[in-house]
Structure 1
């Protein structure tokens, strides 16, 4: 039997250990390289993601600025349209609604009254001797009288108060019969008589009122009856109305 000496075995073991160490070192170096490459890729990807996030944040801020600008312009446009509607529908001197608005809204008011079978009254209010006020005190004072008159007249939110011409105003009273309209108008008449106008000018009004009949086709029928009633009230400051509607 052949026996190897201890020295040979020891040398062989050393060689194997050295070989294993070299393999481990090689694997360790390869792993270190892989980790380094992986870290580099992670770093590169992180930089790309950070760059994309910065761009996304910049775009988000840009979108927010655009949105704010659009909201601002939308509000401006809404205000401009509201102002245009107010200018279109209002008397520039007094701020009351104008004749155009009256005929625009009258149709819907009448339709509602007919559909719901609700009463609808209409009144014509005229400032007495307004022409004399203009001739005596001048048109600037006359304008002031008109403005004070409109400011003094207290209407319900549902009522439609319109300047119809130089000295005449028209009021639509939705869901209001003639008796209740008379109560409101009599208060207006008294309020105007007691109101202190510029230069203490005595101002009074004459009022004609009529109730719209559901059988009538348009507002002009009731308006003409109120005008007829106004003629009976002219210059005596009394509230009159079409006797047929009483």
Structure 2
């Protein structure tokens, strides 16, 4: 009989018995070390905020998923292990085709490290995942293709990227496109219209006597005027039109696919809405007017600059003719 504590053995031992006891002691030590490693590994898996997974390509079976799956997806890991569609069905519908195609690319490339798609968690929240995947290269020839991967929740990163993009492209005061972003969009619409032979209109709008508003009622009142003009622009323009503040009291708009007569109708609607605006300051009420210059793309226009120059000239002509009007040039 072997003593309970192998190290306390005190009876006479044959060489074979001693070797056996030493082997058992070594095995006992190895088991302890392996147990410690397993506990450490399990602790690490619990603390990592990313989903580690393994997938059998032929059988479409999830072989392993780490504890973070339940935290990020809000779904049962057991259900996923029994049915791969638990993962597939959680993918945001618009991203499903891409997620499946990019997963299949790993069979050709061996690794796909730039997959980003959205999921709908069990609580209804939309989350972004960065899901890297690799073929298990240790598999023997003829063995099943096992894909392993790590899916990280990058929702907060995406939110911050969107906010930085908004700040870079938006006029802080009016929440419309800033000058740089407006002209980037306008240039893109111009190139598209030229390529497709489609109509496009360009509008410039300048607030009449805006300096007088600031001088008489103060800059806060002037800021309010700019904000209300921007609101009117967003309300009057069509879906897909581009609108932005390109100067102190100057705004611009691009109407893709818009014929001249339709563009004039949009400009007139905007003019009317601005004429209805009413502002108050220290028990005084005042209104504002704007001058607009409108033009449309012609076959001779080889750059956006020529379209802009024509709209600019038309706007200043509206000023010369008494303001509060639209001139088409």
Structural mapping, 1:139-218, within 5 Å? 139-153=219-233, 154=235, 155-199=237-281, 200-218=285-303
CA distance in structure 2 between the aligned counterparts of 1:219 and 1:167, rounded to whole angstroms: 21
How many residue pairs match? The answer is 202
Structure number with the higher strand fraction is 2
| SS class of match (2:48) | helix
Residue 49 of structure 1: how far off its partner (Å): 8.0
Asked which structure has the greater RCO (Cα within 8 Å, sep 6+), the reply is: 1
Aligned-residue RMSD, C-alpha = 2.9
TM-score normalised per structure 2: 0.54
Larger Rg: 1
- Provide, for residues 157-188 of structure 1, a one-character-per-residue CA deviation record: whole Å limited to 9, x for no partner: 31111111111111011111121111111011
Residue 54 of structure 1: how far off its partner (Å): 4.0
Structure 2: 5+ residue stretches without partners: 1-23, 52-67, 73-129, 131-151
Report the equivalent of 1:239: 326
| Kept in 2: contact 1:145–1:198 (CA 8 A) | no
Report the equivalent of 1:113: 193
CA distance in structure 1 between the aligned counterparts of 2:48 and 2:215, rounded to whole angstroms: 62
CA distance in structure 2 between the aligned counterparts of 1:195 and 1:202, rounded to whole angstroms: 6
Bigger mean CA offset, 82-91 vs 157-166:
82-91
Structural mapping, 1:1-246, within 5 Å? 54-64=39-49, 71=152, 74-153=154-233, 154=235, 155-199=237-281, 200-234=285-319, 235-242=322-329
CA distance in structure 2 between the aligned counterparts of 1:49 and 1:111, rounded to whole angstroms: 65
| SS class of match (1:121) | strand
CA distance in structure 2 between the aligned counterparts of 1:109 and 1:214, rounded to whole angstroms: 15
Structure number with the higher helix fraction is 1
CA distance in structure 2 between the aligned counterparts of 1:208 and 1:229, rounded to whole angstroms: 4
| SS class of match (1:221) | helix
| Kept in 2: contact 1:144–1:198 (CA 8 A) | no
